[in-house]
Amino acid sequence: MKLRKINSSLAIFLIYFFVFSFFDVKPAKPTVENNLYNKENFSNYFSGTVSFDNNDFDISVNKLKKIEKLGNIHKQYINEYIFALVNNQKISEAFKFSKNIQKEKSESLFYTNLLLALNFFNNHNYDKSMEYLQKIIDNQNTPNFQQIIVKGIFNYLNAFNNFSEKDTFFLESRFTAFNKINEAFYNCYFDNLNVEEDFLKLVNSEDMGYSRYDFFYLNYLVSKDFKKKASNFLNTRKEKHENNLLFNQGAIWVNNKNYKKIKNIFNCRKPKHLISEYLYLIANLYSSEEKFNLSNFYLNLSIYFNKNFSSNKFLLAENLFNLGDFKNSEKNYRSFDSKDEIFYWYAQKRLFWILKKTKNEERALDFIVNNFDKIKNFDALHFYDLANFYKNLEKYSESIQFYSKSLEILEKKDELYAEILYRRGGSYERLKLYQESEKDLLESLKIVEDDPYVLNYLAYSWIERNKNINKSMKMLEKAHSLKDADPYIADSLAWANFLVGKYDKAEKLQQKALKLMPNDPIVNDHYGDILWKQNKKLEARYFWKYVLSLEDAEEEMKKKIKEKLIFGLNKKS
């Protein structure tokens, strides 16, 4: 069992608990502080803290709630309880707790002041909200990024409170993205003439980090009743947004003339919607740094201020998945309505992976197939997704069936057409239908010339069968030049060099693959073979033995390795 790091508050609790319990040391006068350090409070705090660290916020809230008076003493407790409340979506309780703490503590605490500011904002008291934000800004102990967060909120409140340019905080140059986004929303809020220009700067930026704001530009056009302009914008964005769920769902709403839906989920004239989007931006930044609990703190606040923006739950569900909280991740994914088909189908795909991880493969497959049948308007991507699920579960015949259905819908010039040929070719290869596989892979290369992954797959399938070795070598060298950091391509090229007797070159390439994928069975097996040919037999056996300890190693591979451990490469295995 891996021991968790004990935080400072728990350490204090432990000291008091052991002193009072085992040495029977009693203070001369009973005080509130001493009464807090008893066995029952210790048990509740310990359980609450452990649950907090395990992301069981429901249990954490129930335990920590029983010792709210501890908030008078411990900063760590205050922060944990606030986080547990917010991450358990008990925002009103978090506001109330922060208010009580503020009355009894003179110490300036970031999260209590932030929640108090947001509470006053929620009640339309912008002046009072800005007072609490100013407290955080004036506190020299506030970390830099927390200062940035608060200054951004302050600027919005300043705008809502009859915008005063002189009271606006300028964010550092490294936060230019914040400034660009916020400027577009400020102008949208005030309905200024240059709002469209600001949105176009974002949507036409080469930085993919702004792709979310294509939706907000679409939302703005619809809100202004520029329906023709909205349709034209959609036509220019078809290929760009293959994976942008929010934009794609918005596009369906517009195409179906469901303008009310796109207007309802976000309105830049509503202060709560703007603060919600700003908090989402913060949450997304923390998530990108894998600080998932911090991300969820701001994300739950974001959802509180705009419950209509349901797609923000995708980030929440993904964060919870990454934290190992599959139960709540599943709960969020199951909340999406089948009427919003883009959101719904993506949620079902994520639920497949949760069920695969928490239940079993067959349960996950039954789930996705049953939900696939509920889709009203099939397109090539739906068949493509289903084919990928079958392939992932090594049901290659079924995957070929659905890849083929997808190809029937697509035009050959579409890049996805080439991708599907590549994937179907891989399924054929796994079934040892080599002629069909080669046909698909070569056809894919005609559409997207020199695709490194297709080059790698076709060439490796050839060298595995000792076919077209020289041609394969050239193809793999090309693939490696295009993707020199890809371990699979490095492994393929190393193996090709091994087959033609270039063992020194093979070793260097295999070392590169091994560094990138140290626990891959095939990479380690290949490295053992290369070392053996270099007469490094002791090292070779070390790597072969290591493969036997890897869970991902297939039984057939283990059987061959056991033979190599006895006979080396002298016996054909």
Contact, 241 vs 213, CB < 8 A? no
| 312 φ/ψ angles, rounded to the nearest 5 degrees | -65, -20
Query: Would residue 55 count as lying in a domain?
Result: yes
- Do 6 and 103 lie in one domain? The reply is yes
pLDDT of amino acid 457: 96
Give 99-139 pLDDT, tens digit per residue.
Answer: 887 766 555 689 999 999 999 999 999 999 999 999 999 98
Transcribe 380-411 into DSSP letters. Answer: HHHHHHHHHHHHHTT-HHHHHHHHHHHHHHS-
Compute the average pLDDT of residues 354-379. 88
Query: Would residue 102 count as lying in a domain?
Result: yes
**Mean pLDDT, the chain, as a whole number?**
85
Q: Which residue has the higher pLDDT, 324 or 51?
A: 324
Measure Cα distances from 519 to 5, 275, 522, 552 in Å.
Answer: 28, 45, 9, 9
Query: Where is 545: in which H helix or E strand?
Result: helix 537-548
Give 307-345 pLDDT, tens digit per residue.
Answer: 999 999 999 999 999 999 999 999 999 999 888 989 999
Give 483-532 pLDDT, tens digit per residue.
Answer: 999 999 999 999 999 989 999 999 999 999 999 999 999 999 999 999 99
pLDDT of amino acid 244: 84
Range of the domain at 57: 1-107
Confidence of residue 437 (pLDDT cuts 50, 70, 90): very high
The domain boundary residue, chosen from 107, 131, 150: 107
Q: What percent of the chain has pLDDT over 70?
A: 82
pLDDT of amino acid 498: 93
For the ranges 23-37, 53-67, 153-167, the lowest mean pLDDT is seen at 23-37
Residue position matching structure tokens 């040929």: 421
Contacts of 468 (CB under 8 A, 6+ apart): 459, 462
d(CA 451, CA 549): 34
Contacts of 187 (CB under 8 A, 6+ apart): 194, 195, 198
Secondary structure letter of residue 206 according to DSSP:
S
Confidence of residue 44 (pLDDT cuts 50, 70, 90): low
The domain boundary residue, chosen from 66, 92, 107: 107
Contact, 165 vs 157, CB < 8 A? no
Compute the average pLDDT of residues 76-96. 87
End-to-end CA, the chain: 41
| 377 φ/ψ angles, rounded to the nearest 5 degrees | -115, 95
d(CA 77, CA 101): 11
Query: Would residue 7 count as lying in a domain?
Result: yes
d(CA 17, CA 172): 47
Half-sphere exposure of 512 (CA within 13 A, CB side): 20
pTM of the model: 0.79
Query: Would residue 168 count as lying in a domain?
Result: no
The domain boundary residue, chosen from 246, 268, 290: 268
Compute the average pLDDT of residues 237-255. 81
Contact, 279 vs 296, CB < 8 A? no
pLDDT of amino acid 171: 59
For the ranges 23-32, 145-154, 452-461, 473-482, the lowest mean pLDDT is seen at 23-32
Interhelix angle for 213-223 vs 227-236, to 10°?
Answer: 160
d(CA 240, CA 212): 12
Contacts of 502 (CB under 8 A, 6+ apart): none
Domains in the chain, number:
3
Query: Would residue 183 count as lying in a domain?
Result: no
Confidence of residue 81 (pLDDT cuts 50, 70, 90): confident
pLDDT at 38 over 90: no
Interhelix angle for 110-122 vs 91-104, to 10°?
Answer: 120
Interhelix angle for 176-190 vs 144-160, to 10°?
Answer: 10
pLDDT at 204 over 90: no
Give pairs for 168-175: CB < 8 Å, separation 24+.
169/137, 172/148, 175/148
Query: Would residue 222 count as lying in a domain?
Result: yes
Confidence of residue 238 (pLDDT cuts 50, 70, 90): low
d(CA 547, CA 522): 8
Confidence of residue 1 (pLDDT cuts 50, 70, 90): very low
In 465-548, which ranges are E strands?
A: none
pLDDT of amino acid 141: 87
Query: Would residue 68 count as lying in a domain?
Result: yes
Compute the average pLDDT of residues 165-171. 56
pLDDT of amino acid 56: 63
Contact, 282 vs 146, CB < 8 A? no
Give 373-409 pLDDT, tens digit per residue.
Answer: 878 777 888 999 999 999 999 999 999 999 999 999 9
Query: Would residue 162 count as lying in a domain?
Result: no
